[in-house]
Amino acid sequence: MASIIYYIVQLGNSYYHGSDEDSMLTTDEEQAFAFTNSDTAEQLATKVNGTVLTREVSFEELEELSADHWTEYNALPKDERDIIESFCSKLKLGKDE
């Protein structure tokens, strides 16, 4: 079965979530930042005294998750979907405002 291998950095009972120091860690593994390059994950782990964990997800599972998220997204009120679509559109254009 085809799958994707990714890496997360664990620090004690938490996981690296992003570069913003206020929200750098999460206790939810599913919210951890997923590195696609093990060397990059190892560099961060060394910097923060963490451990790199290897994870794998099948394409089938990704398809199921995508379908679930699509259903949740479509259940949102239209004004919330419009805000999300506007934000994503700005991201595609490289704008931050």
- Please spell the DSSP secondary structure of the chain, one letter per residue: --EEEEEEEEETTEEE--S-GGG-EES-GGGS--BS-HHHHHHHHHHHT-EEEEEEEEHHHHHHHHHHHHHHHHHS-HHHHHHHHHHHHHHHHT---
Q: Report yes or no on whether pTM surpasses 0.75.
A: no
Instruction: Give the pLDDT band of residue 91 (cuts 50, 70, 90).
Output: confident
Q: Write the pLDDT tens digit of every residue in 68-84.
A: 889 999 999 999 999 98
